[in-house]
Structure 1
Amino acid sequence: MQIETKGSFLNDRLDWNLLRTFLAIVEEHSISRAAERLHLTQPAISQSLRRLEESLGQRLIERRGPRFEITRAGEEVRRIAEEIYGNISRLSSELGELGDSVSGSVRLLSVSGVYLQPYDDFLAGFHRANPRIDLQVEVMRSSEVISTLLQKTATAGLSPSRVPVKKLERRLFMRQRYAIFCGRHHRLFGQPALTTEDLLSENFVSFTGDQIGDNLSPLTIFRDEKGFKGRVVASSSSVHEVRRLIFAGFGIGCLPEHVAQPDVAQQRLQRLPPGEGVADVDIHLLWSRERKYSQAETLFLVSLNQWLEKRERLGQAD
């Protein structure tokens, strides 16, 4: 199904999670009750509704003081959304009946440094339920993850994706908070009461994707806005190599907090200002909307999406 709006296909840019939120609003007849049901804040629900209306170019709800009425466009969107999620539920049920009879392989791409303990538990449960499905995980740069998925040669990918990519579906997987660190061999290591101004002339260790327009550009924008003058003296696409170079004293650099935490505890790395960190970078689950998937791949994607939806309902998406 394709809906054409203003000369472009809507399904190239629509976040399907917004449909789930809209269904909750309609079914609860209240934004506040929808927020309680989805374990989100009222402003978050209102923002999702606004984003959906902007994507469709239609007003879906007419507010009448504390009450609201669904527009004709809203009724049509509800019908389509119910059909979509009904099909997903039937697909999940059919796949569940197959159980461990499904065999095959899944090729999953990922940027380095993606760590989420509940995800490890999900993989363990999926393997127990589907012991005949093999999983191949390949670590690569974010741009390579996206290009490989567009070539339809992989099942799915875990990667930053600042904007929707045409022909790819995406769903928030986790949020990584980046902060600045220096290593034990750096001259700033051990110095107390440092400020952001103390860092402005320091050289940097960087990710190869840390540049304007790339998926880690929030790190570049932060440095530009704060007036950092040092040059990038070392870089890598691997978070573990960036961490190694920072420890070796090549320069200061940004790392996800969860990656650096063990080294900070062992006094191999020191966290630097600002205390609130540099930026949040969203990691998305990405998959092609045009690729034909095997039973094993479909089962993996449906199971992973169900797990992510459960985390969203419980307010554990970040």
Structure 2
Amino acid sequence: MRTDDPHYAPERIARELDWNLLRTFVVLAESHSVTDAANQLRLKQPSVSTALKRLEDRVGRKLINRSPGHYDLTEAGRLLYREAVEINGSVLRLSTLMREMTDDVRGHVHIAMASHVVSPLIDQALTGFHHDHPLATLKIDILSSSKAIAEVAAKRASFAICLVGDHHPNLEYRRMFREYFGLFCGPPHPLFGRDDLTTGDLEGHSSVSFETDRLQDVLKPITVMRAQAALGQKITGVSSHLEEVRRMIVSGLGV
């Protein structure tokens, strides 16, 4: 590639690059397929494919390798995604920066939170923040822990309160409290009410768990615990919300 190729001139890219194409690409990069991205954007798949093709034409590089059973970013795609996330975060902060041009603290705080996080620390912090900054607004989204972390990494959320396994290299972490997990069953389950159980009694029984109950995710210890208890491979129900996992357990769907 010639370094003086006018196609890659910074002025041309700055002039012709469409922010909406970058925003679409960020969603594509975080999705598992074009169809998945289209569903998130509430657009038709051909429209998203066309947007990707237009962006590839603008930057002069293939950004996503697509073939049956294969979908991943090219080296150029990974580079563009990293920069697009930074641009996206800056754009999202613009309204907050404009509203903060005053002696009063204004703006919007977007919190990504795992379901059913119970802690007086959080309640006290929210009370104190609202008392000190009554003009500021908040939004709390309930997400799986992995998605909450992804929202912060993409600068779409101010911070997250969630379970953490491996640390993202670009994020700062503070431990608030420890969460403890166990094995439970509901009244309809054949093991309910017994106090003489051993791990051998659990063998073969179906399970209910969280969407992030995978070896590569934040709930890896639960996955390992289920395996050590020789629970069956059949998972009869999953949810990212603790309340719904509890509902399925109480209803007797599994351990």
TM-score (norm 2): 0.57
1:129 aligns with 2:132: yes
Identity of aligned residues (%): 34
Matched residue, 2:187: 184
Aligned pair in 2 of structure 1 residues 109, 128: CA closer, same or farther (>3 Å)? same
Matched residue, 1:205: 208
Aligned pair in 2 of structure 1 residues 227, 185: CA closer, same or farther (>3 Å)? closer
Aligned counterparts, 1:1-318, within 5 A = 101-252=104-255
TM superposition outliers: structure 1 runs of 4+ over 4 Å: none
For 1:202, give the aligned amino acid.
Answer: H
| Contact 1:200 1:228 survives alignment (8 Å) | yes
The structure carrying a bigger strand percent of its residues is 1
- What number of residue pairs does the alignment pair up? 155
For 1:122, give the aligned amino acid.
Answer: A
Question: d(CA) in 1 for partners of 2:169 and 2:246?
Answer: 33
Question: d(CA) in 1 for partners of 2:233 and 2:197?
Answer: 17
- Output one character per residue of 1:238-258: Cα deviation in whole Å (capped at 9) or x when no partner: 111100000110001xxxxxx
Deviation at 1:125, TM superposition (A): 1.9
| Contact 1:182 1:246 survives alignment (8 Å) | yes
For 2:145, give the aligned amino acid.
Answer: S
| Contact 1:200 1:229 survives alignment (8 Å) | yes
| Contact 1:200 1:230 survives alignment (8 Å) | no
| Contact 1:142 1:215 survives alignment (8 Å) | yes
Question: d(CA) in 2 for partners of 1:102 and 1:127?
Answer: 11
Deviation at 1:230, TM superposition (A): 4.8
Deviation at 1:120, TM superposition (A): 1.0
Structure having greater relative contact order (Cα 8 Å, sep ≥ 6): 1
Structure 1: gaps (5+ residues): 1-99, 253-318
- Output one character per residue of 1:191-221: Cα deviation in whole Å (capped at 9) or x when no partner: 2322222112211001110011101011011
Tell me the secondary structure at the aligned position of residue 183 of structure 2.
strand
For 1:197, give the aligned amino acid.
Answer: G
Tell me the secondary structure at the aligned position of residue 182 of structure 1.
coil
TM-score (norm 1): 0.46
RMSD of aligned residue pairs (Cα, Å): 2.0
| Contact 1:208 1:235 survives alignment (8 Å) | yes
Q: Which has the larger radius of gyration?
A: 2
